[in-house]
Amino acid sequence: MTEVQNQITENPPKFEFSDTPSRILIIEDDPTIHSVIADPIKNTFPYVSFYFCTSGEEAWQKAQQETFDLIITDWRLAGELSGLRLVNRFRSHSHYRHIPMLIISGYLQEADFNLMQEFNFTSPLLKPFRAQLLVRSVKDVFSEARWFFQQQKNVAELLQDLKDEQDMVRLDQKIEVFLDSCPRPVPMLLLCSRLLREMFSFEQASRFAFRAQQYRPGALNVDCELGKIFLGLGDVQQAEKHLKRSFDRSPNNLERLCDLGRLNLEELDTDQAQHYFNRAAAIDPDSEDAQHGLTLSHQLDHFFKHNNPSNIPETFAGLLNAIGVGLIRSGDLEGGINHYQAALGYISDHHVKALVCFNLGLGYLRFSQYDDAKDWLDQSLKHWPEYEKCRCYLDRVRKCLAVDNQKTLYCDDGAAGDDDDFPNETLQAEFEDESLSPLDH
């Protein structure tokens, strides 16, 4: 299971954790408070550099331009990007979720506090606070993040050679050794679970999540992880139980709202799906997951209104593909592309993702956008390297781009232009309209 190692290295943290923080971003809309926060930290860590922002919008832009190893933000930020939105955005984005955060507020509701407890190394600090408490909080949250980062590297090494059940047994034994000396067993177990879940090894992931549940029954972050696993396994009843139980205690977690939207989307309950996606979009209008979910739910509504139930594909993936095929073949390239891009987040199987990317490539190909076609065909092969039909198209697109002779794509006789059968019959059932060949028309 070397894909686990690849998953970890695809979006690595932008820095190695040192013993102490060196670059701190402070977000506070009252500039007079900046020194109140910075000075005590500077006295303890004299070599630290501070960067100040007075709004969430400014902070988000700064975070995309600079590298920080600690973020301190006020919870009640003025402006569109509030503390709630900003924290959700950082924690739902793979490039920033590793950065420790200290959240300062004069008052926290129970739901706010629960939300912070769900995230690793995200610690609240109530106003008014003493300088010593501020410094101690900085040390604690930074130490937690440094520990977690090191454990992630250790777990990556353990998972990189995971191939079969025997390897899984050996992994369990090695994890036991870690747990014996681990001050935080639950985060360690949830880390293993998350990494396996992200590689679609849901059964293996559940073993670690259930062990975490034994340590902390009813813990919010454990419930949420189990909900994600059951969602991946297709066990709607169990997924809904765990996700809704987490939602009741912490209703402002953007990722979970999107998970609940996805759950209802796969059950074809578009009204309830839109309810959750709208709540997620209200927290962060720029959330791609929320916007993609709304796109799909609206398109499903439209599809159901204009199609006979007997013509609706049996599988959710097949249904998404049928909508994309219809949009592109009707000439709505932009709508079809947007639909397929949204659909990619709702398909877990690598082979099926490869077919979606293939259809995206052929969609661009129909409209002579060869560079974009090549990019998506490349993506298709990354998901499924043995996908020969895609490789044939990609080779021909590359030749056309190289010799600047696009007509050969439509004139050349070759196997790639045929609607050949899938190597895997189950995939043929999922995506009957996989081929959108321009040679067909």
pLDDT of residue 32: 93
CA 395/CA 229 separation, integer angstroms: 38
Does this model's pTM top 0.85? My answer is no
- The answer to whether residues 270 and 300 touch, using CB atoms and an 8 Å cutoff, is yes
Dist. CA 165–CA 424, nearest whole Å: 25
**Interacting residues of 346 by C-beta distance below 8 A, sequence separation 6+:** 262, 265, 266, 292, 296, 316, 320
Which pLDDT score, from 0 to 100, does residue 376 have? 92
Contact 224, 253 (CB under 8 A): yes
Q: How far is CA 43 from CA 57, 106, 167, 341, in A?
A: 29, 24, 49, 49
User: CA triplet 334, 414, 366: central angle to 5 degrees?
Assistant: 10
In degrees and rounded to multiples of 5, residue 318 shows phi and psi of -65, -35
Calpha distance 1→100 (Å, rounded): 29
Write down how long the chain is: 441
Q: Which helix (H) or strand (E) holds 258?
A: helix 254-266
Provide CB contacts within 8 A for 389, sequence distance 6+.
358, 416, 420, 435
- Degrees, nearest 5: CA angle 125-131-134: 30
CATH 3.40.50.970 fits 309-440, yes or no: no
Cβ–Cβ under 8 Å, residues 159 and 195: yes
Q: What fold, for 162-252?
A: 1.25.40
DSSP-derived 3-state class of residue 299? helix
Question: What was the pLDDT predicted at 16?
Answer: 52
Which part of the chain has CATH 3.40.50.2300? 10-147
- Give CATH 1.25.40.10 domain extents, the chain: 162-252, 309-440
First to last CA, the chain: 42
Query: Over the chain (441 residues), what is each successive 10-residue block's mean pLDDT?
Result: 42 53 91 94 91 94 91 92 93 86 92 90 92 94 85 76 71 75 80 85 90 89 94 91 94 94 91 96 93 91 82 76 80 82 78 85 82 91 90 87 58 36 33 37 32
**pLDDT on residue 148:** 82
Residue 24's beta-bridge partner residues? 50, 70
What's the pLDDT at 19?
A: 67
Query: What is the pLDDT, as a whole number, of residue 404?
Result: 59
Q: Which CATH architecture has domain 10-147?
A: 3-Layer(aba) Sandwich (3.40)
Pairing status of strand 101-105 against strand 70-74: parallel
